[in-house]
Amino acid sequence: MCLLRENRGPGQQPSFKGALILESWPIYRVMGDGTVAPNVVPNELALKIYQDMVLLRTFDEKALNLQRQGRVGTFPPSLGQEATEIGSAHALSKQDWMAPSYRDHGALYVHGVPFENVILFAMGRAGSLAGDVRALPSSIPIATHLPHAVGLAMAARMQGEDAVAIAYFGDGGTSEGDFHEALNFAGVFKAPVIFLCQNNGWAISTPVSRQTGSATLAQKAEAYGIRGRRVDGNDALAVYQVVRESRERALAGHGPTLIEAVTYRLGPHTTADDPTRYRDTEEVGAWRGDRDPIVRLGAYLDQQGILTADDLEKIRVTALEWVNQAVEAAEAMPPVTPLDMFEHVYATMPPRLIQQLQDFEGSDR
Amino acid sequence: MCLLRENRGPGQQPSFKGALILESWPIYRVMGDGTVAPNVVPNELALKIYQDMVLLRTFDEKALNLQRQGRVGTFPPSLGQEATEIGSAHALSKQDWMAPSYRDHGALYVHGVPFENVILFAMGRAGSLAGDVRALPSSIPIATHLPHAVGLAMAARMQGEDAVAIAYFGDGGTSEGDFHEALNFAGVFKAPVIFLCQNNGWAISTPVSRQTGSATLAQKAEAYGIRGRRVDGNDALAVYQVVRESRERALAGHGPTLIEAVTYRLGPHTTADDPTRYRDTEEVGAWRGDRDPIVRLGAYLDQQGILTADDLEKIRVTALEWVNQAVEAAEAMPPVTPLDMFEHVYATMPPRLIQQLQDFEGSDR
Amino acid sequence: MPEQNMVQALNTALHEMFADDPRVLLMGEDVGKNGGVFRVSGGLYDKFGAERVMDTPLAESGIIGTAIGLAVGGMRPIVEIQFMGFLYPGLDQLFSHASRLRTRSLGQVTVPLTLRMPYGGGIRAPEQHADSAEAYLTHTPGLKVLVPSTPYDAKGLLYAAIEDPDPVIFLEPIRCYRLGRMEVPEGRYTVPIGKARVARPGTDLSLIAWGAMVNLAEKVADKFQEAGISIEVLDLRTLAPLDKEAIGNSVAKTGRCVILHEAPRTGGLAGEITALIMETAFWDLKAPVARVTGFDVPYPAYAWEDFYMPNVSRVSRVVTETLKD
Amino acid sequence: MPEQNMVQALNTALHEMFADDPRVLLMGEDVGKNGGVFRVSGGLYDKFGAERVMDTPLAESGIIGTAIGLAVGGMRPIVEIQFMGFLYPGLDQLFSHASRLRTRSLGQVTVPLTLRMPYGGGIRAPEQHADSAEAYLTHTPGLKVLVPSTPYDAKGLLYAAIEDPDPVIFLEPIRCYRLGRMEVPEGRYTVPIGKARVARPGTDLSLIAWGAMVNLAEKVADKFQEAGISIEVLDLRTLAPLDKEAIGNSVAKTGRCVILHEAPRTGGLAGEITALIMETAFWDLKAPVARVTGFDVPYPAYAWEDFYMPNVSRVSRVVTETLKD
Ligand SMILES: Cc1ncc(C[n+]2csc(CCOP(=O)(O)OP(=O)(O)O)c2C)c(N)n1
Ligand SMILES: Cc1ncc(C[n+]2csc(CCOP(=O)(O)OP(=O)(O)O)c2C)c(N)n1
Ligand SMILES: [Mg+2]
Ligand SMILES: [Mg+2]
């Protein structure tokens, strides 16, 4: 059994409790020392996952740049969390419902939302993150979208669909009442839902040790009589497998799973955040390099002879091209109109909104 | 180790999951088969606990009567739960803060609130349940008073007081988000607080099996890294001991405890409820007689030679006298005034309330 | 046509809807075997089973949140909140999600959800069981808020609610549940959302009310009738969107207006209605618009209930004053 | 006297209060090392430690509920909610408990709690970070609601809040945080709760505003001044209890009134103010009371923010119309 010893740097205290070693809540892993499970991800898919992870990283870096140039607004990058974002989403089917948070554009992308929509979102244009995909708009309030996933899962089951729902949220999200109510409902109704908690160590400036007294987040499943799993969130193949397996169990009627993906937020919370105010650069450094999810999957694929240094370069170049195209496409979109703001409040505009729109149009701006 | 096999009537399915046998969450018990702990309650105190339990039962029966006569309003009796109500409250000190629910007049009584105030409360006169005691007014909304207990406990610690806080709530209360947030805060801040959950099998018409998928309520403590205990809630001595011990641990800095007291609501939810709509009389019957907390403690005290049949009769007579006096005292109280309604909204009445009170007094009624 | 009280009319409506549309569900605390604490859902559980009539854990945010998911996912959930005062732990689901998902997704994600709950006072219920919190909801864009005051409107508005593609809050005045019977048609019919009802036509003053206050307004109108004064009673029925036209027309005609509500005065809906009158009938006003409401205190425990609630005497006094000018 | 912006004035006030009274605490998300997302609590953690400046788990109801317990138990907690839109999961603690404990206990249990939070729009914040939800709070008896628009008032009102024996909601207009500097006295002083401020005296029309809208009102007043029209700007500062007298006096004098707020129009506080004008200055009105507000839509994502927010042009148009009559 491999324990997540990487969470402790040499001579360092564990920086957050998610990192504590708990035999009863082992961390599931495919790549690296003490592998607990053989890889079952086919080569082609592993490669696709890798490409998407690079794409996500490239995208985030681009978005950070655009933000500095004032071309997009506040942006929450998922730097360091690519394995969980991409690995999990590849384990889903198109029929599955996704209930994401603000940081889950990677998972949304895999599920079918183009990156230009993500740019639009960052340009302050809501609506761009739901599309022709089975996804809710990214939840801004923390964890309050978890009950939606439960309802979506129940609706799918009631209608005889071969679909589950998955909710994405962070370690901070486990403290909200709605986390509890959602998991409890899921347990009572045995809803086919997956709760994917990305324990990235921090909720803005609050370490996970301040978030809860429990040694792991996965063990919170016990409170609801549901299944809990910890997975190495920087191991894309392990994440894929745990989500896949949870999905199959859910569809087979075995109920929900709470997955704690242990990972790390390498960047700021958002572009408005300055993480040096509250955490050591050493701590961040310890998660770079070998523990970087892209480096790890790259090395693994290389070892397996699945991709060469040349491929690697090509993937990077292609990613940059795609991202640039997405930015161009987004910036070329027609500007927003006042009508957008009025017409989607209700299916039919009530008289007062018609009146307000007319007033607006009658005014100078 | 004694298991709560009484929860299953002969040939019956367990009526609620709280009754399931779980070795990892044993039920703590003093009286009866398979006793897990010797009694440490001194004779005199045990006798006092018994007297108070009889008093509470007598009171509840009286109040049910008064309600039928229209002399008091909707009333929630604690029939069957006397061991938990009285045993727990005797384990506290006067300095401790109590955050009760609507059904906890028994505990409040022990903590210092006279029964006439309880009658007043049932006569629609709020304010009667807080008095010269360290208690909040009984919470009507479910479980939302649990965070208050956490704050009270922290305040006591900050001020160097030798006091804990205790919150009373039911099995239904464990489903609310505030249950989760309160226990989580208590775990993070290691607050000296006791969460006393009376699992009486039902939340109005909802059995505890519909309340959660977890096999016990005590195991929910795991989610917060805090201590959980199950206790036979019909064993007053066991309840006393578990609360006492939790209190001592809390004062010693070892943090909060979640106690699940497994008991049964013998009566209706309130006088407005008709339990025959949703539960079998057989199930109720199985909790009467030998399993009745008053019968059990009586038999035990008898066995120990602590009280005789004569004493028993005297206790009953005295209880009735007290209760009748309380009713008389309550009914003799001066009637409520409009001023009561206006003057306690703020420390100082703002102009609009002064105006409204004047308007009221200027009107015909 | 059968004569029914409001509970019966609602119960019949639910039975019909369940039979008509397999997507319709009911969920909430004690709505199953118990049929809800006021028995509005009586018999549904036996007829349609636990899959469609779901007793839930005791958690309002979880109930509403799960129902939002069910609605987005293709079902037609009806949620019962046990009393309006217990809606508060679930308000975030309404304010942050139910009311915004359509807008946030530019119309791609919709929430056809009906949220029913008993509200208001007057039956000596325990503390915190008698709140009238409609103004929290009517200030929330994206929600609709309905309040029937008669059995007929109750059934017709419930049909309108459940057929509406957006979240609708359906407030059931506890005081009206068993107040009286009237003929209620069998089968489907709707009462339009957004349309007030002239409960009693009149020419001298408009009394604007909803829920249990409509009955009070009618009593006051009766009393003044005897003195030869003709009061128009307008039952708003829909609180969001308000029927500005009907309000404006009535006040333009009478030139005098008194608004009634049970909720505390400050910030209650009477203020909004006053502002609408400013926009529609200011020049017709012969006296200031006045209001008779609950006082600015938390709804009191029931020993004080009679002090709190607007009654014939308090309303009459303000009506008389408004007629004076 | 130092010149400070609103963040600095609030920060100074907090430092002083912490030094003066050992019962004062601050709790909330990221208020510790990070000093709050707007740095209002900067430096407190280093100076007063983690016991008094508590980073909490991410749970608004838990934060407010725990603070209620702390307040009842003898402390003087100040809670920071990160943005007003994230107050909603904690509303139940305000509606069911903080606002009622005094009444329910007939004065025996009191809750001296201050709840601070940034609110309002105008800085291109992400979705759901710009709500103006004051009307939910002002309709809740038992609460007080304050909104400073200047650094001076911010400090003085915060002192008044923390010294108040009842729960006080203290709304900090995000747009005003760094809008400008002014002289702010060192040390304790209070601005009285319940008293509006005439930000600019005038005779022809009253513009009533609070928070970031005060600045807008002043700009409009400037503009009309050039045309020889004298506009009085009334900064309410306290939204509950409202300064009815000041409102009545101003409108009685000018005879014309326009009310501004960022919140959606329907059910916003402008309605209540209109109703108060009915009670105090109806006979003086020369034109209907009008309002310029946010539209009846959820506060939009920031690409639409400029459409949503009242601005000089929209306000001027309504002022001009109101002057016409
Ligand atoms: C209900 C609510 N409260 C507060 C916030 C402000 N906020 C935004 S992100 C965040 C931290 C979230 O941390 P976590 O759940 O760990 O997710 P991460 O950002 O690490 O992905 C906070 C407090 C919010 N969005 N919603
Ligand atoms: C927040 C809230 N929701 C709903 C109710 C209505 N209600 C009152 S008691 C009750 C059941 C409570 O059951 P439990 O917690 O097991 O306590 P018990 O009554 O069994 O002591 C319900 C649903 C309430 N009081 N508060
Ligand atoms: Mg995190
Ligand atoms: Mg119970």
How do residues B115-173 score in pLDDT, each as one tens digit? 999 999 999 998 777 668 999 999 999 999 999 999 999 999 999 999 999 999 999 99
Q: Give the integer Cα–Cα distance in Å for B235 and B241.
A: 10
Q: Which of D151, D183, D215 is the last residue of a domain?
A: D183
pLDDT at A131: 67
Residues B194-215 pLDDT 10s? 999 999 999 999 999 999 999 9
Expressed as residue numbers, the domain containing C141 is: 3-183
What ranges in B190-308 are assigned the alpha helix state H?
208-211, 236-251, 281-286, 293-303
The percent of residues in chain B predicted with pLDDT above 90, rounded, is: 85
Compute the C-alpha angle A25/A26/A30, nearest 5°. 150
Q: Which of A77, A53, A16 is nearest to A199 (CA)?
A: A16
Residues D174 and D212 in one domain: no
**D219 and D271 both lie in a single domain:** yes
CATH number reported for the structural domain that contains residue C287 in this entry: 3.40.50.920
B6 falls in which pLDDT band (50, 70, 90)? very low
| Integer Cα distance of D257 and D322 in angstroms | 8
What is the mean predicted confidence (pLDDT) over B309-315?
91
In a domain, C87, yes or no: yes
pLDDT tens track for A38-62: 888 999 999 999 999 999 999 999 9
Please indicate, yes or no, whether residues D82 and D160 belong to a single structural domain of this protein.
yes
Residue of D nearest to B154 (CA): D70
Is the alpha carbon torsion for B26, B28, B32, B38 positive or negative?
positive
How much is the average pLDDT of C172-176? 98
Q: What's residue A364's pLDDT?
A: 63
Angle at the Cα of C252 from the Cα atoms of C251 and C253, rounded to 5 degrees: 85
CA of C21 to the centre of ligand 2 (A): 31
Q: Would you kindly state where each structural domain of chain B is located, as residue ranges? A: 20-334, 338-365
Number of compact structural domains in chain D: 2
Compute CA distances C22 → A158, A171, C27, whole Å. Answer: 10, 38, 14
pLDDT at A10: 29
D74 in a domain, yes or no?
yes
Omega into A334 within 30° of 0, i.e. cis? Answer: no
Q: Which one from A29, A90, A111, A265 is the annotated catalytic residue?
A: A265
Question: Per residue in A231-288, pLDDT tens?
Answer: 999 999 999 999 999 999 999 999 999 999 999 999 999 999 999 999 999 999 999 9
Q: Do C302 and B360 touch (CB under 8 A)?
A: no
What are the pLDDT digits (tens) for A288-313? 999 999 999 999 999 999 998 889 99
Crossing angle of the two packed helices A177-189 and C60-72, in degrees rounded to 10: 70
What tokens does C166 get?
């957006």
What pLDDT sits at residue A12? 33
Chain D residues with beta carbon closer than 8 angstroms to that of C268: 139
- Positive or negative, the Cα torsion across A258, A259, A263, A266? negative
ipTM of this model? 0.97
- Nearest-CA distance D28 → chain B (Å): 12
User: Which pLDDT band holds residue A5 (cuts at 50, 70, 90)?
Assistant: very low
Give yes or no: residues C100 and C64 share one domain.
Answer: yes
**B170: contact with A, CB 8 A cutoff:** no
Q: Are residues C208 and C165 in the same domain?
A: no
Q: Which ligand is nearest to the CA of B101?
A: 2
**Dihedral sign, CA of C249, C135, D87, A224?**
negative
Domain annotation covers residue C283: yes
Tell me which residues of chain D have a C-beta less than 8 Å from any C-beta of chain A: 29-30, 32-35, 37, 55-59, 61-62, 85-86, 88-89, 124-129, 265-266, 295-298, 300-308, 311, 313-314, 317
C183, C209, C239 - which closes a domain: C183
Domain end position, chosen among C183, C214, C247 = C183
CA distance D246 to chain B (A): 13
Handedness of CA B239, B244, B250, B254 (dihedral sign): negative
Do C175 and C265 belong together in one domain?
no
Please list the residues that pair with D293 across neighbouring strands: D261
The reply to whether ligand 2 has any atom less than 6 angstroms from the CB of B179 is no
Token output for B305: 């030679």
Show the DSSP H helices in chain D as ranges: 6-20, 44-48, 60-72, 91-92, 101-104, 134-138, 151-163, 212-226, 244-254, 269-281, 305-308, 312-324
CB-nearest partner of C303 from B205, B336, B363:
B336
Q: What is the pLDDT of residue A4?
A: 33
| 8 A C-beta contact, residue A176 and residue A215 | no
Q: What's the rounded Cα separation, in Å, for the pair B11 and B34?
A: 22
Global pTM?
0.97
**Interior angle at CA D304, CA C99 and CA C107, nearest 5:** 40
Q: Are A25 and A216 in contact (CB under 8 A)?
A: yes
Residues C10 and C78 in one domain: yes
pLDDT for residue B17: 33
Residues of C serving a catalytic function are 129
Which of D142, D273, D279 lies at the smallest CB-CB distance from C298? D142
Does residue C97 contact residue A119 with C-beta atoms inside 8 Å?
no
The pLDDT value recorded for residue B339 is: 95
Span C177-196, mean pLDDT? 97
| C271: nearest Cα among D289, D277, D275, D139 | D275
Written as one letter, the residue type at A174 is T
Which residue, judged by its Cα, is nearest atom 4 of ligand 2?
A: C86
The answer to whether residue D189 is domain-embedded is no
- Total residues found in chain C within this entry: 325
Confidence band for A19, pLDDT divided at 50, 70 and 90 = very low
Distance, in Å, from the CA atom of A347 to the CA atom of C293, rounded to the nearest integer, reads 33
CA of A211 to the centre of ligand 3 (A): 10
Instruction: Annotate B139-184 with DSSP letters as a single string.
Output: B-SSSTTHHHHHHHHHHHHHTT-S--EEEEEETGGGGSHHHHHHHH
Same domain? C177 vs C205 = no
Domain CATH number, residue D43: 3.40.50.970
Peptide bond into D241 cis (omega under 30): yes
| Assigned domain for D204 exists | yes
Instruction: Find chain D residues with C-beta within 8 A of B158's C-beta.
Output: 51, 75
How far apart are alpha carbons D9 and C24 in whole angstroms? 55
Residue ranges in D60-150 assigned as alpha helix (H): 60-72, 91-92, 101-104, 134-138
Structure tokens at A23: 């035999």
Which residue in this structure is represented by tokens 């040096």? A276
Residue D154 and residue D201 in one domain: no
Question: How many whole angstroms separate alpha carbon D255 and alpha carbon A19?
Answer: 68
Class of domain B20-334: alpha beta
Residues of chain D with pLDDT under 50: none
Helix axes A236-251, A293-303, angle to 10 degrees: 90
Residues D163 and D54 in one domain: yes
Closest ligand 2 atom to the C-alpha of B101? 21
| Contact status, residue C315 vs residue C292, Cβ threshold 8 Å | yes
Nearest CA in chain B to D75: B155
Q: What is the pLDDT of residues B28-43, one digit of tens each?
A: 999 987 667 888 899 9
